[in-house]
Amino acid sequence: MQLDELELDLPPCFEIGEKVQTRKLIRNDGTFPGQEIGATLAKKGEIGYVISIGTFLQNSYIYAVHFMGTGYVVGCRAKELETVETGI
């Protein structure tokens, strides 16, 4: 993607139902209710499933990921996620 390209000009990187894992530690930036700012929401390598796809500021996708281990549903950017190979 070029610097002047909007992410929304391209199709989403992940699909609903896709198994993904985090590429880095994800902390609460203040948008996750019931948890302190800075609290860990998902550790690096934690596995979850994309349950919905939304947008942020009309220029990027936000993927709602349900992390099975914690039960949290966390909004993630594409750069924070990667596909988990299913081996099928």
What 3-state class would DSSP assign to 54?
Answer: strand
Domains of the chain in sequence order: 18-83 (2.30.30)
Task: Count Cα neighbours of 6 within 13 Å in the Cβ-side half-sphere.
Answer: 9
- Which pTM was predicted? 0.85
Average pLDDT of span 1-24: 84
Instruction: Say if residue 21's pLDDT is above 80.
Output: yes
Instruction: Say if residue 3's pLDDT is above 80.
Output: no
CB atoms within 10 A of CB 38: 9
For the stretch 46-81, pLDDT in tens is 999 999 999 988 888 999 999 998 999 999 999 999
